[in-house]
């Protein structure tokens, strides 16, 4: 399969800011709604106590916001579906224009007490993205919310490519319609900003799966499955049978657990213990014993930490707290 690298400007790793306090670009029309309110959910640390004024989320270089069910001509998509998915072909680019990316939007209602969903984009030339935003809007009872997002993937889209967009609800999401619009830039404007463009894979490799798909998510949904919030087949509903679920178990805010090229991997465990007595030389002996099994850089780092502990301690210390590091070989797979 053809590998497509997606050029994006990689801004801040994560940012959430009121739309009245940020640059909106082609979404400048949103300024009219900066004093409208939407309740955000998804991460209590970010949402509890935060202003209900409409916020813009910058994450994985995807820009998104949640809106009340407003009626605005700027919200009318070029391609629209009353279902959870749609497909369309990329048309010829207008003269002196260049395709920057796409806007994806959908209207939805929520039910229950737990909500989980992904927005997926894949194309016939190898683009494969699935995104779960850190926060999103919760509509009032009996009302709808609109999720509006911008994906700067225009450099990976060519005339005639088929683009498939779908909203995959895992729990509590009811999609009423979804839509897509193409976003263009003047050629001159784009050329003046080319230095901002980077390769997504260069920065987000921790979120890339073995198939080349990008799993843009900061949650371990298997934890939610274990407590009964998601059904056991949630991952299959999301990706089908193309990806082994072990790839996303233990998923972290910074992406998948690290994998090394060797058929086995090294697992790091830290154990806190107490050494009784003033014989600090015992600490040095521990580091010496580890040299036979650790690489040079690891030994240097471990020894440095231990030496720092020796300088801070004295021979009159009745107890000395030390962190011991053990390395064990494990079978093939991912660390957690």
pLDDT tens, 281-291?
A: 443 343 344 34
Give the pLDDT of residue 251: 76
Q: What percent of the chain has pLDDT over 90?
A: 49
Q: What is the mean pLDDT of residues 290-304?
A: 36
| Confidence tier at 13 by pLDDT (50, 70, 90) | low
275: tokens are: 């050494």
| Confidence tier at 14 by pLDDT (50, 70, 90) | confident
Cα 164 from Cα 86, distance rounded (Å): 6
Whether the per-residue pLDDT at 192 is higher than 80: the answer is no
Write out pLDDT tens, residues 46-63: 888 888 999 999 998 899
Closest Cα partner for 135 from 6, 261, 48?
48
Whether the per-residue pLDDT at 216 is higher than 60: the answer is yes
Task: For residue 332, count other CB atoms closer than 10 A to its CB.
Answer: 10
User: What are the boundaries of each domain within the chain?
Assistant: 7-247, 265-330
Pairing of strands 145-151, 97-110: antiparallel
């Amino acid at each position: 399969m053809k590998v497509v690298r997606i050029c994006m400007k990689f801004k801040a790793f994560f940012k959430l800011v009121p739309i009245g306090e940020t640059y909106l670009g082609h979404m400048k029309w949103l300024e009219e709604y900066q004093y409208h309110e939407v309740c955000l959910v998804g991460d209590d640390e970010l949402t509890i106590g935060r202003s209900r004024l409409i916020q813009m989320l910058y994450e994985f270089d995807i820009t998104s916001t949640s809106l009340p069910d407003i009626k605005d001509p700027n919200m009318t998509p070029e391609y629209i579906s009353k279902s959870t998915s749609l497909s369309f072909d990329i048309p010829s680019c207008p003269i002196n224009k260049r395709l920057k990316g796409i806007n994806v939007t959908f209207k939805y209602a929520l039910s229950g007490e737990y909500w989980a969903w992904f927005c997926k984009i894949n194309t016939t030339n190898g683009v494969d993205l699935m995104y779960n935003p850190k926060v999103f809007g919760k509509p009032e009872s009996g009302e709808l919310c609109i999720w509006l997002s911008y994906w700067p993937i225009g450099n990976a889209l060519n005339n005639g490519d088929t683009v498939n967009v779908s909203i995959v609800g895992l729990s509590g999401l009811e999609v009423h319609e979804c839509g897509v619009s193409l976003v263009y830039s003047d050629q001159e404007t784009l050329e003046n900003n080319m230095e901002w463009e980077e390769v997504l894979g260069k920065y987000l490799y921790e979120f890339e799966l073995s198939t080349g798909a990008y799993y843009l998510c900061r949650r371990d949904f298997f934890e939610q499955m274990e407590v009964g919030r998601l059904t056991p087949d949630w991952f299959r509903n999301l990706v089908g049978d193309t990806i082994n679920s072990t790839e996303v178990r233990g998923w972290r805010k910074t992406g998948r657990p690290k994998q090394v090229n060797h058929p086995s991997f090294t697992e790091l465990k830290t154990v806190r213990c107490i050494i009784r007595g003033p014989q600090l030389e015992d600490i040095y002996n521990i580091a010496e014993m580890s040299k036979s099994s650790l690489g040079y850089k690891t030994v240097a780092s471990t020894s440095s930490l231990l030496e720092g502990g020796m300088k801070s301690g004295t021979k009159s210390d009745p107890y000395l707290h030390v962190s011991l590091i053990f390395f064990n070989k494990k079978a093939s797979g991912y660390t957690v």
